[in-house]
Amino acid sequence: MNQTTSGSGSTAARTALTALAPMVWGTTYVVTTELLPPGNPMSAGLLRALPAGLIALVITRTLPNGTWWAKAAVLGVLNIGMFFPLLFVAAESLPGGVAATLAAAQPLIVAVLAVTVLGEHPSAWRFGWGVVGVLGVGLVVIGPDAAFDVPGILAGLAGAASMALGVTLTKRWGRPAEASPTAFAGWQLTAGGLFLLPVTFLFEGPPPAIDGTAALGYLWLGLVGGLAAYVLWFRGITTLPVTSVALLGLLSPMAAALLGVLLLDQMLGPIQLLGFALSLAAIAAGQFSPRTRSPLPNLTAQRTAR
């Protein structure tokens, strides 16, 4: 196997592992509406983040050093502390399809931030496929009777913007050599959870009573949808193009729609299937960059050399 083939195979493997994270996050809508007590979005975010983060710190026994205390705090607030409650507010205030479509705008925001924050050249290819992806998600998950709640819409857009900035800064700052992916995820989950702790008690009071069903929901969201998924996600961000990783986020509403079919007896008509095809095409195309043509050889120089 030559080096080029090995490198492309390694990239494909990292992409596949990273894609598992948004697929797991696609379960959030079903778990939130079917298992968790309603009306407590901040408590849901807190119970999802802080226990998982503390578990990661105990396992890895690695703390930030130097400026990474501040960087981990910023990333934790953007990726976790602000994103989680905004996600739950949108999921509770809007039909899952509307909330998912708003979240699907994240790749477009990342494409803009990649230029302004990372100094990358604008990629019309990935931005265009990001637009196609949002359109596809909308066709899949927004029905004709969808309700539009203004606070829910603002929460969904703010959540997409918060995580988009967090993803971009994660790419800019990278991951310190002494921190494993599990430790890196643990720092952010803990920082986000600590941010949510006083805010939750201020606005919602103590967490709601948790029965067996809710406990299962929180365990899934914390350990699988939180710790395990974020380990894969942050590893992917630091090793793959950030706009490509952001487009993988479209898998989350796709997974949510499939779960709706499998668990909630929802149906997918021709329009939804078209949206599925558009979204999958956007995800696949976004993993590649079109090759620019090599300049034509200098024929005059070749004749002179002869």
Kindly report, residue by residue over 263-275, the tens digit of the pLDDT: 777 677 788 888 8
Please, what is the Cα angle at 180 between 179 and 182, to 5 degrees? Answer: 115
- What percent of the chain has pLDDT above 70? 85
Residue 129: which residues within 8 A CB-CB, separation 6 or more? Answer: 247, 281, 282, 285, 286
H or E stretch including 181?
A: helix 181-203
**pTM for the full predicted model:** 0.82
Is the pLDDT assigned to residue 298 strictly greater than 70? no
In sequence order, what E strands does 23-146 have? none
Of all residues in the chain, the percent with pLDDT exceeding 90 is 33
69 pLDDT above the threshold of 80:
yes
CB-based contact 234:188 (threshold 8 Å)? yes
Segment 129-142 mean pLDDT: 80
Mean pLDDT to the nearest integer, 66-94 = 87
Give the residue-averaged pLDDT of 46-63. Answer: 94
Q: Which residues are CB-neighbours of 45 under 8 A, at least 6 positions away?
A: 80, 81, 84, 85, 87, 88, 192, 196, 200
pLDDT given at position 231:
94
pLDDT of residue 19: 93
Mean residue pLDDT across the chain: 83
pLDDT in the model for residue 119: 84
**Residue with the larger pLDDT of the pair 188 and 209:** 188
Q: Range with the lowest mean pLDDT among 73-77, 139-143, 220-224?
A: 139-143
- Identify the residue with better confidence: 122 or 172: 172
Torsion of CA 63, 66, 68, 70, to 10 degrees: 110
Is residue 188 a contact partner of residue 229, using CB atoms and an 8 Å limit?
Answer: no
Residue 2 CB contacts under 8 Å (≥ 6 apart), including other chains: none
DSSP 162-174: HHHHHHHHHHHH-
What pLDDT is stored for residue 197 in this prediction? 93
Residue 232: DSSP 8-state: H
Q: Is residue 157 a contact partner of residue 202, using CB atoms and an 8 Å limit? A: no
pLDDT value at 148 more than 70: no
Check pLDDT > 70 for residue 112.
yes
pLDDT at position 5 = 42
pLDDT of 292 > 60? The answer is no
Q: What is the pLDDT of residue 187?
A: 96
pLDDT digits (tens, 9 = 90+) for 223-271: 999 999 999 999 999 888 888 888 898 888 888 878 877 877 767 778 8
What CA–CA distance (Å, rounded) separates 94 from 249? 19
The confidence score (pLDDT) of residue 203 equals 84
CA-CA distance, 139 to 48, in Å (whole number)? Answer: 30
